[in-house]
Amino acid sequence: MTGFDLLTFGEALVSLRSAGPLATGGALTMHLAGAESNVAIGLARLGHRTAWAGRVSDDELGRYVLRQLRAEGVDVDHVTRDPERPAGLMFLERRTADLTRVGYHRAGSAGSALHVDDLRPALAAGTRILHLTGITPALSETAREASRWAAETASRAGALVCLDVNHRARLWSRDDARAVLSPLAGYASVLVASADELDLVGEAGADEATVVAGLLDRGVETVLVKLGGDGARAYTRDGVRHAPALPVTAVDTVGAGDAFTAGYLSGHLDGLDLAGRLRRAVTLGAFAVAGHGDWEALPRRDELSLLDDLQPGSTLR
C-alpha cells in the first residue's frame, strides 16, 4: 500500500513576524503558517508519512511555502499552483509581552480558491487519516465544498476523519460557522475544539456536556476539548479523561492547538491507548509553547521525552 498516514489540506500562509510594533517599521522574518500545515509538520517530524494538499501561488512566495513543507518531509506532490492568485499573507506583531496581534491578507488568495479538483489526486492516493479544520470552509464557497467532499470521501473510504473547529471570527460569524461545521462534524471520528468553540458543532449556547453528548450520538468517537495551560479533556463513549499540560515556560502559544492535535493523531497512528494519545498530545503542545514559531519547536521522535522532568535552565551537553 502506498498511501499516506495522514493527509491534510487548507491554506498555507506566509507569516511575516515583526519583533516590535509594525507601525514603526523594522525587520520582518518569514515563516510558514497554517493550522493544517502545522499538523502535517508535527506528524512528519515524528516519522509519519504525511501529505499536504492545497493551492499555492505560482511565484516566489508559493515556492517558499513548498520549500518549507518539503524541507520538513511533508509530501507536496499533489499541491496545485495557481498562476493567477497571490499568496495569502499574515502579519504577526508582538503587541505587548502578553498579546500577539495578527493581520491577514488572504482575501482572493490562491489558498482560498481551493477546489474539489485540487484534492482528488491526493485523496486517490489513499490515507489512514484525513485532517481538516474549520478554517478552510470559511475561505470560499469552493473551499467549503472541497472540505465537505473530502470529509465525506475519506470517511467512506474508511479513513479516520479529524476535524479541528478552529473558529476564525474575522472570516465568518459563529452562526455561519455553525451552519457549516455542525454537519461537517458528522463525518468526523475525532473532533477537536477549544471550550468556547464547542457550540459551533452543536446548538448555539449549549453547554459542553450537551454538545459532547450530541457529537458522540452522531458517531464522533473522541471529542478533544483544548484547555490551554490547563491541558485538555477527552470524551469518549467510555467517559471523560483529563490530561494536564506539561509544566514548561511558555514563550509563544501560537500553534499550540495544532501541535496538540498532531500529537493525538500520532498516538493514534502508533496504536497508543487514549492515555498515551493524550500524553503525546500535551507533549507536543508543550514543545509548541516552549519554543518560538508556530511549528519550529516541534519534536522529532527521539526528542519526545526531552521535556520530561526538566528543570528550568537545563543544559543538555
Annotated catalytic sites, by residue?
A: 258
- Grid coordinates belonging to 132: 481538516
Cβ of residue 111: shortest distance to a copy of itself, in angstroms? 13
Distance in angstroms (rounded) separating the CA atoms of residues 214 and 237: 11
Cβ of residue 10: shortest distance to a copy of itself, in angstroms? 15
Beta-carbon contacts of 260 under 8 Å, excluding residues fewer than 6 positions away, are 192, 224, 226, 232, 281, 282, 284, 285, 288
Number of residues in the chain: 317
160 or 258: CB nearest a copy of itself: 258
Cβ of residue 89: shortest distance to a copy of itself, in angstroms? 7
6 or 13: CB nearest a copy of itself: 13
Crossing angle of helices 174-185 and 141-156, in 10° steps, is 20
**Under a CB-based contact definition with an 8 Å cutoff, are residues 147 and 159 in contact?**
no
Beta-carbon contacts of 147 under 8 Å, excluding residues fewer than 6 positions away, are 132, 136, 137, 184
Secondary element (H or E) of residue 279:
helix 274-290
183 or 305: CB nearest a copy of itself: 305
Smallest Cα–Cα separation from 193: which of 223, 235, 171? 223
Give alpha helix (H) positions in 125-235: 141-156, 174-185, 208-217
124 or 251: CB nearest a copy of itself: 251
Cβ of residue 231: shortest distance to a copy of itself, in angstroms? 14
16 or 215: CB nearest a copy of itself: 16
221 or 296: CB nearest a copy of itself: 296
152-to-9, 66, 241, 296 alpha-carbon distances in Å: 14, 27, 29, 32
Secondary element (H or E) of residue 101:
strand 99-105
- Grid coordinates belonging to 300: 522529532
